[in-house]
Structure formats: structure tokens, C-alpha cells
A and B are shown apart, each in its own frame.
Chain A
């Protein structure tokens, strides 16, 4: 390859989609480019002009506009543009202007077509935004298999090994030196069997069995044997082993089945460690199920509050193990609900049984099974219609106060909007709630819309859940018949918008301004949740979780083909970036929040986030179109 082409080849080869090309294709690309310089402020592409080349930014920065003149994107060194028009009618759809002094490489359409034909990844990259994001989410999902943690992950050191002819004292000394509670016993062997292996020095060994602390006590000391007795006299033969790539779950079952606490771990036939029951327990304490069990065993609010660090480690554990956002959301919600239920149980023990039936109702993210570590409490009390304020409210006010204070002590901060059962407005009998809901649907003014978007994600946590189910049914029945309400809610769902994308390490807003942080909840997940809610209410679904809601929406004709999938991928991707950044904060001992600095996000992640924001932007536009304000004639 000629040197001058190397300059071009090396540069393009560092940027997607060229970075994944084969050497031959990359050579061809580099040898075919033409070059031109554009001074800052000059036009590079004008709308409607014929276009026969793909443009690549070698240096500088370029602004891309919509036909209307609205800013569409800002691109920098290593970015490409023009592909959209090349794939269609070869006329410029998005005009481009040099934002800085810019050097452009032009790649002829013929070469571009060849790349699309011969390289699938290249075609995916330039064709549409969707497959790129989809591929990213699928890659995330693949790592879920890690949830099945392998035994080898729990091993921290090589096993203590001793020979068949050693005395028990020699073996005990070796265990002491290694602070181990068991040793594997081997003898030299020339036979070939399932139990033989060859060590690094080429010696062939037969794995005879295991000697544990317990064996030393029960079979040596208790029997009055001498410390110089050969280990062969007391070793446990016929041992159960496990392969290092088996799951931890499998190891636990093996221990339970054969009632042993030590499990030799083999890689093929070579011993690589000894797994002890305590290793599994230590590992499982990070497991959310273990944590939930622990919550229900706490006798006091103080005890519950002490579990805060465990909640954090369960969260970190799950995200690091590759759980997807739905799994994390569900587990964190289960934990949150368990705290709430346990607090209610403790309060009832103290205050006595409730004077009338009630249901403690979760709202917002808890109702949707989408809690993360950073979460407020949103709750309310639905009381039986026999409720008499004068007679009963003192009990429920006290109950609400205990739960709210208890949750705050456990790390669920008070709701800033006072959407808590401590607020008498949200501590009402069922008929009042029904009136509230009907009123909000019939008169969707800004305040009512705000309430709808909080209270229409609702679920019973504790008590007589039929009370909440009646409310869920009411919403599912009324909302689809109320086009005016839906139109208003749709407009309300457009209040929070995504940014346009990124420019170098900044967040780029639609008006072209740059910011150095982005709140991924406010600008990403929350607007998605809002718009999914509108479609859900429109189709009369009672699903609460956003992903489940998308499944139900997919059964209807509300969304164009493929849109639901795109929304799911985009929401999942943004959610995971948010969760991963929260884990990062925790690991760096900073307080986790919902903000992310683009400078801390990888190049590829920025690309995907930008795609996800674009999906959101389109979905919001569609919402406006799908739920027009009906003329009231």
C-alpha cells in the first residue's frame, strides 16, 4: 500500500463503519477517495442537488439541517453523511454546512454500493438507525447468560493437595498453612481412569478423596487415633465432584443432595479448587431473593434500615452480572414492596388490626415494576367505603406516617410532590378515588394531567387488593372512550424531550446549545414511559410495566409495524446506560443519580444513545399525530 493512501486508510480505519471492513475493502476505499476543503460557514451540500458520493469528515465539523432549515445533527471528525440520500434518489435531502474549517473525503457511490453489498455490518450501519440499536440491545441480552454464574467464578485459590501416604498431621499442617478447611488426597498412578489427571510436571495422579476439618475431628481425634496415622486410613473416598463450568445453582443442589459442605471442583479431570458451602452463601447474600427473605425476618424499622447496604450490593451485583433493565427493575421493585409490606406488618402489630379494610397502593415506578436504586416513594391508601374519617382516620394517618418514615429510613426519600398516604387527599375511600379518577379523565387540565400520569400507574402492595383492582378497571374502561383526555395526555407527554445527540463530548440540544451533562431519566426513560402510558390507556390495557405495556400495544393497530420494537430497544438501551452509570457511581463511592456526562460514555454508546433519542423523538411526533384534539361539535 502506498504511503499517501495509508494516511487516508489509517484514519478511516479507525472510525465506524470503516473500522470493521476487511483490509482489501479498506484499501479500495482509501485509493478511491477524492478530497476537498471547506471553509467554516460554507455550504457542502445544498438541498436537491444530485449526490454521487458518500462524505467523510477528515477534520473539522459539519452541521446537517432538515429541509426546513432546522438543525438535524452536528458531525465531527470520522463521521459520515450523505448515505441517506445515496440509498434513495441520490438527491441531497439534508443540506450540510461546514461549522469549522473542514476537510472532506468523498467516496464514489459505486464503492459505497460495493461496501453495502459485500459487508453486512457496513450495510446495517448506513441503512437505518434501527438495526444498530437492536444489535446493541441483543448484545446486552446475550450477556444475561452470565446470570448463570459458573462455579469457577467463586473459586479464589488452588486446592490444598496431599499424598495418600502422608500422615494426618502433615495434611493438617498443610491445611493450617493455607487456612483451608479441606485437602484433596491423591496418589501416583499409571492407570487411566476418570479419576486420573496429569499435573504440570507431567506426573500422573489419581484423585483418591477429600479430608476435611470435620474428618480430622470425627475420625481422628474422637476415635483416639495417633497424629502419625496415614491419611489413607481416614480419607473419604467415593467423593462427589463438580466441573468448573457448572452453575453455582448446580453446585448448591449437589451439596444438598449428598449432604456435604465441600465440593472438589475439576476442570476436565484436573482439580482446580474446593467449593465450600460458605462460598455459595457469601455469593448468594448479594442475591435479591435472599435479601427479600431477610427483609421479612426483620423485627424493627431499625433492622430494616440496616439492610440499606445490602440493597446496594444486590443492585450492583445484578447490573454487573448482565441483567437487563426489566430484570433489575422487577428485582428492585420486589425489594421495595417487601420493605413496604414488612413496615405495614410491623405497624399493624403495633397499632392493632385496621378498623376497616384498606389497600396500600403503589404508584409510579413501583407500580410499573421499574424501580432503580435512586427512587422516591409514591404511595396512597384506598380505604373501604365504610370509612368514617372522624372514627377511623386517626388510625390510617398514623399507619401512613409510620410507612412513610420507615421507607425514608430505608433509603426511599419522601415524595417531593407529596404524593404519599400521609397526605389526607391521598388517603380516601374507594368512592372518592373513583370520583377523582373520573374527574381527571373528564377535565384534563394541567393539574389533573399531572395526577393522571402519576396515579394511572397503580398497583396494590398490601391489604385488600380488590380495592385497587377496581380502580385499575375503571381507568382501563374510561380512558379509551375519552379522546379529549387522550389528546391532552399525549400533549402532556411531549413536555420532556430528548436532546438532538452529542457533539464531541457534549450533549447537543435541538437549538444547537451544548451541555456537559444529561439527565437520562428526564430526557430519556421518563418521556418513553409517558408516551407508552398514553398508548396503553388508549387500548384499555391494565398492564403496568412499560415493556409489558408494549407487548399489549403490539396486539393492537395503534402503532405502525416495527415501531413498538424500536421503542423497546431504545428504552432498554437508555435504561441500561442509566443503571450502569449508577453502579459506576456506587463503585466510585459517589451518590448515584440519573445524570451522565457524555465524556464518560464510550463512542459506540454515544452513537447508540443518539439513535435511541431519535427513536424517542419520532415516537413523540407520532403521538401528536395519533391523538389529535377532537373537535367538540
Chain B
């Protein structure tokens, strides 16, 4: 039922987009990333190589704010390969504001010696290539990565993402029951990462660290598939 939405005529398939970008990009790093190709839409989710990704940023607006850290954890439905985790602190283009420091707890000292985003781009792209990215709330990760790559390379950077928050929204906000609750004036179920995890019996982690949140997202996705889907469900059911 989701794939039908993704297959709307005006959106080219991810396969086509990857092929097109692999040919047209002028950046070698992006060429290698897109050259790996996108997963076939019918690939069962249980067989898909996945990678959980989380960014900490100086704010919510990709045009005004910057990435300060990136965490990734490769995984599959069977296993989260935590020993293969990667984590970078990067130096934002604009100075840190105190309010955001309180949030992600990365201090001025830590970023003073940190590399610029561009310096980690090659390794990051190598880690993401050939894997389907899983995030919690893609409306941060997608625009921020796009903006950062655009800044570094001058090109667009898009790829399919699975968004565990929209899976939660769909399950707990868009059902008849959720509408009835809203109509009755009851508060909506929280779909924030921590609250969503609690619904699946997952433990509470210390939030707002890119790597912890990436791990937390990977666990949440395993739990969501275990509860609501089958490992046979095609990846196109999930990606956006």
C-alpha cells in the first residue's frame, strides 16, 4: 500500500535516479556511491543490507544550521554490527550556540580540532554505499546531508531512506483508532524515538548522541518489522 504512493508517476524510480547520477556526477566520491546502485525494489527487507544513520545538528533548519556529528551503524534484520560503527564530530561552518550545546552536548573544545564535513565525506559515502539507510525522522537527515554535500561538491545528494518515525506515525497516528482519539481531544501517541522504543519493550538509552541514536534507530526498526511486517516484505514497502 505504500509502494503505490512511491510509484507515483512524477517520481522517477530510485534505480533510474542512481543510474542517472552515476553517469552525470562530476565528483568521484559520488560517482562511486551512486555506481553501487540502489537495491531492487522487490528485495525482501530481511535480505537487505541496512545502515542506521543519525545526525546531530546546531538547529532544525538546514539552510541556517550545520551538522556537528554523524553516527552510523551497519545492520540487517538479524544483527546490528555495532563493532563496525562509525562516529565523527565535524566542525560546523557557523559558531555553536549555547542552546544547541546543551542539546547535543558537543562542546566548543570538541569541535575546535574536528574535521570539516567535507573531510569525512569520502569515508561516509563508502560506508553508506550499497546499503539502505534507516533514520528516525528523515526531514532532518535528508536536507542536512543534501545541504552539506551541496556545500562541499556543489551537487544534489539524495537516496532512499527508511524512516522509523513515519512507520510509527502510520501505525499509531493514522489509524481509525488514532483519529477517534484525536476527535475526542485525547493527546496523540508520541512517536519520538524514545517513546516509540518503549512501545516495543526496548530499553531507554541516553539520547541525543548521533551514535547512540543510530543504534537506537536500528533496534527500533528490527522491532517494528518483527511486530508489524514479515522479513519477506519488499524494501519498496519501507523506503521513501
- Given known contacts A4-B215, A33-B82, A37-B223, A59 and B206 CB-to-CB distance under 8 angstroms: no
Given A4-B71, A37-B219, A38-B226, is A60 in contact with B201 using a C-beta cutoff of 8 Å?
yes
- A54-107 at interface with B (beta carbon < 8 Å): 58-60, 100-103, 106
The reply on B186 being an interface residue by CB < 8 A is: no
**Chain B at the A interface: mostly helix, strand, loop or mixed?**
mixed
Q: B212 — which chain A residues lie within 8 A by C-beta?
A: 3-4, 7
Chain A, interface SS category: mixed
Bound-state CA distance A32–B83 (Å) is 5
Contact A2 B87 (CB under 8 A): yes
Q: How far is the CB of B146 from chain A (nearest CB, A)?
A: 26
Nearest-CB distance from A112 to chain B (Å)? 15
Cβ of B206 and Cβ of A35 under 8 Å apart? no
- Residue tally, chain B, CB below 8 Å to A: 25
A37 to B81 CA separation, bound complex (whole angstroms): 13
CB distance from B2 to the nearest CB of A (A): 21
CB-CB under 8 A from A33, the residues of chain B are 82-83
**When the two chains form the complex, which single residue of B79, B200, B205, B227 contacts A36, counting CB atoms closer than 8 Å?**
B79
Q: Does B218 contact A (CB under 8 A)?
A: yes
The proximity string for A residues 30-58 relative to B, scoring 1 for CB distances below 8 Å and 0 otherwise, is: 01111111110010000000000000001
B-contacting residues, A2-37, CB 8 Å: 2-4, 6-8, 11, 31-37
Kindly identify which residue among A35, A39, A59 contacts B226, using a CB–CB cutoff of 8 Å.
A39
Q: Does B80 contact A (CB under 8 A)?
A: yes
**B202 at the A interface (CB under 8 A):** yes
> Are A101 and B80 in contact, with the CB atoms below 8 A?
no
Q: B200 is contacted by which of A2, A6, A31, A101 (Cβ under 8 Å)?
A: A101
Mask: chain B, 76-108; 1 = CB below 8 Å from A; 0 = not? 001111110101000000000000000000000
| Total residues of chain A contacting the partner, CB 8 A | 25
Is B22's beta carbon under 8 Å from chain A?
Answer: no
Q: How far is the CB of B186 from chain A (nearest CB, A)?
A: 25
Q: Are B80 and A4 in contact (CB under 8 A)?
A: no
Instruction: Please tell me which one of the listed residues B206, B226, B227 contacts residue A3 in the complex, with CB atoms under 8 A apart.
Output: B206
Q: Mark B172-211, 1 if CB is under 8 A from A, else 0.
A: 0000000000000000000000000000111101100101
By a CB distance below 8 angstroms, the chain B residues around A36 are 78-80, 222
Q: Are A103 and B203 in contact (CB under 8 A)?
A: yes
Q: For A2, what are the chain B residues with a Cβ–Cβ distance below 8 Å? A: 87, 211
B82 touches A34 (CB 8 A): yes
| Alpha-carbon gap, A60 to B218, bound state (A) | 17
B215's contact among A35, A42, A101, by CB below 8 Å, is which?
A35
CB-defined contacts of B205 to chain A, threshold 8 Å: 7
Which chain B residues lie closer than 8 Å to A37 at the CB level?
200, 202, 219, 222-223, 226
Chain B residue with minimal CB distance to A38? Answer: B226
Residue on A nearest B210 in the bound complex, by CB? A4
A7 CA / B226 CA spacing, docked (Å): 24
Most A C-beta atoms less than 10 A away, residue of B71, B201, B205: B201
**What is the CA–CA distance of A100 and B78 in the complex, to the nearest angstrom?**
18
Contact residue among A6, A31, A59, A106 (Cβ-Cβ distance under 8 Å from B201)? A59
Which chain A residues lie closer than 8 Å to B222 at the CB level? 36-37
By a CB distance below 8 angstroms, the chain A residues around B83 are 31-34
Chain B residues closer than 8 Å to A32, beta-carbon distance: 83
Q: Are A34 and B215 in contact (CB under 8 A)?
A: no
Q: A36–B203 Cα gap in the complex (Å)?
A: 13
- Are B227 and A35 in contact (CB-based, < 8 A)? no
Chain B residues lying within 8 Å of A6, measured Cβ to Cβ, are 206
Contact of A35 (CB < 8 Å), options: B87, B200, B211, B218: B218
Taking A36-B222, A37-B219 as contacts, is the C-beta distance between A3 and B209 under 8 angstroms?
A: yes
Complex Cα distance, B87 from A2, in Å, reads 9
User: Does the CB pair B206–A101 fall under 8 Å?
Assistant: no
Central interface residue in A4, A39, A106, by most chain B CB within 10 Å: A4
Establish whether residues A39 and B227, one from each chain, have CB atoms under 8 Å apart when the complex forms: yes
Q: Which residue of A lies closest to B71 (CB)?
A: A4
> In the assembled complex, how far is the CB of residue B133 from the closest CB belonging to chain A, in whole angstroms?
18
Bound CA–CA A34/B80 (angstroms): 6
A79 → B minimal CB distance (Å): 15
Is the pair A35, B82 in contact by a Cβ cutoff of 8 Å?
A: yes
Please give the distance in Å from A150's CB to the nearest CB on chain B.
47
Q: Complex formed: what's the CA distance from A295 to B36 in Å?
A: 93
Assembled-state Cα–Cα distance A7/B85 (Å): 14
- 7 additional A-B pairs beyond A7-B205, A36-B222, A42-B226, beta carbons within 8 Å, are A3-B206, A34-B79, A37-B202, A37-B223, A59-B202, A101-B202, A102-B201
Instruction: Enumerate 24 A-B pairs (CB-CB under 8 Å) in ascending A order.
Output: A2-B211, A3-B206, A4-B87, A4-B211, A31-B83, A32-B83, A34-B79, A34-B81, A34-B83, A35-B80, A35-B219, A37-B219, A37-B222, A38-B226, A39-B223, A39-B227, A42-B226, A59-B202, A59-B203, A101-B202, A102-B201, A103-B202, A103-B219, A106-B79
Q: Which 8 A-B pairs have the closest CB atoms?
A: A101-B201, A39-B226, A35-B80, A37-B222, A4-B211, A59-B203, A4-B212, A37-B223
